[in-house]
Amino acid sequence: MPHPFSGRKVIVTGGAGFIGSHVSDALIGEGAEVHIVDNLEGGKLENIPDAAIFHELDIRSDEIASLFKRERFAAMVHLAAQMDVRKSVADPVFDADVNVLGLLNLLEGGRANGLEKVVFASTGGAIYGDPDPNVNGGGPQPESHPQRPASPYGITKLVSEHYLRFFSETYGLPYVALRFANVYGPRQNPHGDAGVVAIFTKRLLKGEQPTINGPGKQTRDYVFVGDVVRALCSALAHDGSDVINIGTGVETDVNQLFGHLNRLTGGKAEEKHGPGMPGEQQRSVLDISQAADVLGWQPEVALADGLAETVAWFRARIADPVS
């Protein structure tokens, strides 16, 4: 069965980045005409599929309105963002400028020019904070979990969800906000909490010693980028508006993650610990039952397999940097 947006124009913001380039590949494979908007601050030209149409633009640009008017996109996958939690703390004005005003610039351009669907990359851990012991026994966090963003990044993602709801209710523009766990995989940039996979992998492959912040007992829910891409494509095809967690429901602490990567890269590094990061979230794990119920989605790639594929990709890149 063809994808609902096969043969139609889909704009992918941040499409030269980690997740965006993978979803662009997938949508092209589904027969969509993919347009990528990226300012290349974090994305790379080499990530852009040959079949995609590239627009080097900042999502806050005045040119966005004319782009939507000219192309009349049917759908938008919005992945472009200021995604660094620590940077959001240091410069909350910039964080809000990109993540909130950038989104509004896109939504205004879209609603005036026939946009039919928005899929938005939100966040689970940064919106929920540490699991509440009174919710689900302190286990995986459902979408109804109290929202306690501890950083401007988490706040702007939550505010963005409210703007999407407003545009849906006021202008009839349906959306799906996917609250991602910690996404990892090939093409990952070493930013944010999930970036620890890329950071550790690069250092281990180069024979360098990674440092684990604090005791290494802080946990995250690591989900493979291929599974995330399937969720994004399913969300595009979903009727109506929803907010849905995308993760694995499994907690992995940093020491365990280091152990996996150390073995996959040759097992020569020690488990070295440094000072903890002030205010760092200690646990994050998402309840993904709604993704199964609403999207018919569940993760398929086990952590060990996803890490093996990620290490193989980084190993090839280090061996042949221009490939």
Helices (H) then strands (E): counts for the chain: 12, 13
Rg (C-alpha) for the chain, rounded Å, is 19
DSSP state of 39: -
Single out the residue of 240, 244, 236, 231 nearest to residue 3, CA to CA.
236
Contact between residue 147 and residue 123 where contact means Cβ atoms under 8 Å apart: no
Q: Which residue in the block uniquely carries the two structure tokens 């509004």? A: 104
**Crossing angle of helices 102-111/63-71, nearest 10°?**
30
| Burial (Cβ within 10 Å: 0-12, 13-18, ≥19) of residue 268 | exposed
Catalytic residue among 128, 153, 175, 222: 153
Question: Among this protein's residues, is 128 annotated catalytic?
Answer: no
C-alpha span between 260 and 54 (Å, rounded): 37
C-alpha span between 69 and 63 (Å, rounded): 10
Most distant CA pair in the chain: distance in Å?
58
Task: Give the residue numbers marked as catalytic.
Answer: 153
